[in-house]
Structure 1
Amino acid sequence: MEHDKTIQSKHGIEILEKVRGICETLPEVEEIVDGFGHTTFKVKGKSFVIMGESGGSIGLSFKSDKEMQFILLQQDKFFKTPYIGHHGWVSVKTDEPIDWNELGALIKEGYLRAAPKRLVKQFLV
């Protein structure tokens, strides 16, 4: 059974490059590709962005909390991430124009939720 979610399309690679550019500005972030081919951005072993591709559809999810998730889900461009949405994760529709300023801020919030306190302090200084 094939489960490879590696990003391979031109559109997917463009989105990955923009997300990578956001994440590279954050302290101690590592980018890994998991056993299913998802590209995951982590800080100290904790994920805050997960991306994948299946059938030409690009998946982009970020860590949030339930309160922010509730607010974001009021907008059509966001939806609850399958399997991990009950933990507050949110996905963005990538087949529509993406507001990179907004998404960048949400990715940074996800980072701050995942990062240890010392890194949060370093980031906020």
Structure 2
Amino acid sequence: MADTPLLLAGVRRRCLALPEVTEGRTHAAPTWFVRGRRSFVKFVDPDEHPQFDLPHVAIWAAAPPGARQELVAAAPDRFFAPRFGGRDWVGMRLDTGPDWDEVGEVVTDAYRQVAPKSLLARLGGPANS
């Protein structure tokens, strides 16, 4: 069984480490926003959020165009197409022992999809990597 509070804390730490990120809720699920407006990651716990009809703890994250298809094809045991969140969002299972470096990459890539250029400049690296 997944340690949901520990998983949520790990995701929260990675999201809030990014510039001008705030945490709120959408559809009762913890969700992270850039400047309080655009969401980029949602934490979904099937015990707390049955409306999502998901059998495992996961994050849903904004993804670069085409990335969802690549990730799902390469690792269908870890990645999936979420029912909500937009056509380019990707789901990532957390209940099977996440690779926290990989979670950090997914979170950062999601942030890069919605953050303005002025904030992306604070991250360093390419704006849309």
TM-score (normalised: structure 2): 0.79
Post-superposition shift, 1:95?
A: 2.5
May I ask how many residue pairs the two structures share in their alignment?
115
Q: Which runs of 5+ in 1 are unaligned?
A: 1-8
Q: How does 1:2-81 map to 2 (within 5 A)?
A: 11-34=3-26, 36-44=27-35, 45-55=37-47, 57-74=56-73, 75-76=75-76, 77-81=78-82
Given that residues 69 and 88 in structure 1 are in contact (C-alpha distance below 8 angstroms), is that contact kept between their aligned partners in structure 2? yes
**119 and 54 in structure 1: CA distance in 2 versus 1, 3 angstrom threshold:** same
Given that residues 62 and 89 in structure 1 are in contact (C-alpha distance below 8 angstroms), is that contact kept between their aligned partners in structure 2? yes
Distance in 2, matches of 1:60 and 1:49, equals 7
Post-superposition shift, 1:96?
A: 1.1
Out of 98-107 and 57-66, give the one that drifted further. 57-66
Q: In the alignment, which residue of structure 1 is the partner of 2:53?
A: none
Post-superposition shift, 1:10?
A: 7.4
TM-score (normalised: structure 1): 0.82
Distance in 1, matches of 2:92 and 2:11, equals 12
Report the AA paired with residue 19 of structure 2: P
Q: Deviations over 1:44-65 (max 9, x none)?
A: 2111100122237423111102
Q: Deviations over 1:11-66 (max 9, x none)?
A: 221111001111122100000023x3110001021111001222374231111023
RMSD over aligned CA atoms reads 2.0
Q: In the alignment, which residue of structure 1 is the partner of 2:110?
A: 110
Post-superposition shift, 1:113?
A: 0.9
Given that residues 58 and 95 in structure 2 are in contact (C-alpha distance below 8 angstroms), is that contact kept between their aligned partners in structure 1? no
Q: In the alignment, which residue of structure 2 is the partner of 1:101?
A: 101
Q: Which runs of 5+ in 2 are unaligned?
A: 49-55
Q: Percent same amino acid at aligned positions?
A: 26
Report the AA paired with residue 26 of structure 1: L
